[in-house]
Amino acid sequence: MSGGETVLDRARQSAGLSHGELYLRYFELGGMSSAFQVEAIVYDLAQPSPHDYDVLAHALNERFVELGGDHPVPYAPDPSGPGETPGSGYPSGVKG
């Protein structure tokens, strides 16, 4: 079992979202995983697809924008390009 704080969970806590609230936002954006699976992804206990990760990251980033911030959660690197954010948290190093 993985331990320690993850990028996604740290972001979730900074954004002031409960697991249920994050799941609702993820679901709203079209996420297909269950609430249980999303929680496992957030805790780095399950590996999401790049798309699933991006939906979660965007759900968090929209919350940060609501709070007056930017898009601090990195998206998954594009396999055809160099990646959007240096040191992206996906797929390796999701754990913070």
Partner 1 sequence: MTMADSAQHSTELASDLGEVARALFGAGDVSATLQAVVDLATISIEGCDFASVFVMDSPEPDRPIVTDPLVARVDALQRASGQGPCIDAERTGQPVYVDDLADDTRWPVFGAGASDSGIRCVLAYPLSRSGSFGVLSLSATYPGAFGATDRAKGVIFATLAELALTGAQTHEEEDRRAENLHQALVTRELIGRAEGILMERERITATQAFDILRRASQHLNIKLKQVAEDLVETGERPNTGPDGSAGTRRA
For binding to partner 1 (CB under 8 A), which residues are involved? 24-25, 27-30, 50-51, 54-55, 58, 61-62, 65, 71, 75, 78-81, 84
Question: How far is Cα 49 from Cα 83, in angstroms, rounded to an integer?
Answer: 16
Question: Exposure of 7 by Cβ count < 10 A (0-12 exposed, 13-18 middle, 19+ buried)?
Answer: buried
Residue 50 CB, nearest distance to partner 1 (Å)? 7
Helix (H/G/I), strand (E/B), else coil: 6: strand
Residue 15 CB, nearest distance to partner 1 (Å)? 15
Residue 80 CB, nearest distance to partner 1 (Å)? 5
**Cβ nearer to partner 1, comparing 24 with 40:** 24
